[in-house]
Amino acid sequence: MRAVRFASFGEPADVLTIENIPAPQTGPGQVLVRVQVRPINPSDLFVIRGLYGILPRLPAVPGFEGAGVIVGVGEGVTDRTIGQTVIPMGAAGLWQEYVVVPAARTIPVPATIGDRQAATALINPATAWLMLTDTLRVEPGEWVLQNAANSIVGRHVIRLAQRLGFRTINVVRRREVMDDLRTLGADDIICEQDENVVARVHALTGGKGVRYALDSVGGASGARLAASLAMGGTMLVYGAIAGEPLTIHLGTLLFRSATIRGWWLSHWLQTATPEQAQDLFTTLFGLIADGTLHTPVAAEYDLGDVREAVIAAEHKTRPGKVLLVG
């Protein structure tokens, strides 16, 4: 089978290769999945560069997310069938044609969900949903402040806010994306290159600040979100796009009793029971089916064209996910 591999950490377009390796074989309780669609996520590229929280032993196959069809079942598997479309949950190494995973760690995909939306249902939709409803438990009517609002997670946050009855303040770097986010349902948008984020947030909230903030950037952008927190407010840091340290004024923590904490989907996946995972995806599939959540696709590349695909995935202005297919 074809597999994307890297033998050293470095720039993805430089270190990734296509190799032919033996297909894995199922053991008891496992299924063999023919992976058909795989999005390229920032976390995949961080791993290849050696900058992620968990790094594989080299040589390795990247890829945390995807969807495919079961083509083989191991001894003792009775609740999964050949031909069933599934999401391998919590698996790694999906940038290859076949993977073996425990049957209990696969999520069956309903017929109402296409394989492209299924392949992108794990990381971004689950991140947005779990941060808002499981960790922060945002109440209707409250403001949520977020940066990187034009990202896929940011767009999901805006759509979920409409569905759940809270409001969003959306920080972006480029003015040209603001009209699109307004159409999507953003309540307020701040271009951080043109405006004082903290002053604008305080004007919108009557000087109180926000109870909830989501930071996926770090650096100066994340610091501005932290400075916008209300008394007892909480900011989740779930990304590090800027690659810069997050510097917090001590007064934010001391005098406002604010909480700033990291949030990583991998931790939830590692501790979730199969029942919890199935409940999560039942919810997400419903939100995808009714149009609340939708992941746009910018381009598709064959697995063999992975070097071109990773270059395309890093274009800052791409209008959606880049997918590896085949």
Q: Please identify every residue annotated as catalytic.
A: 52
Q: Which residues contact 250 (CB under 8 A, 6 or more apart)?
A: none
> How far is it, in rounded angstroms, from Cα 283 to Cα 145?
24
Whether the CB-CB separation of 7 and 50 falls below 8 Å is answered with no
What CA–CA distances, in Å, run from 222 to 152, 158, 213, 229, 259? 18, 19, 9, 11, 13
Element (H, E) at 326: none
> How far is it, in rounded angstroms, from Cα 306 to Cα 299?
12
Indicate the burial class of 261 (C-beta count within 10 angstroms; 0-12, 13-18, 19 or more). Answer: exposed
Residue 131, both tokens: 């941060």
Q: Which residues contact 128 (CB under 8 A, 6 or more apart)?
A: 153, 156, 157, 160, 293
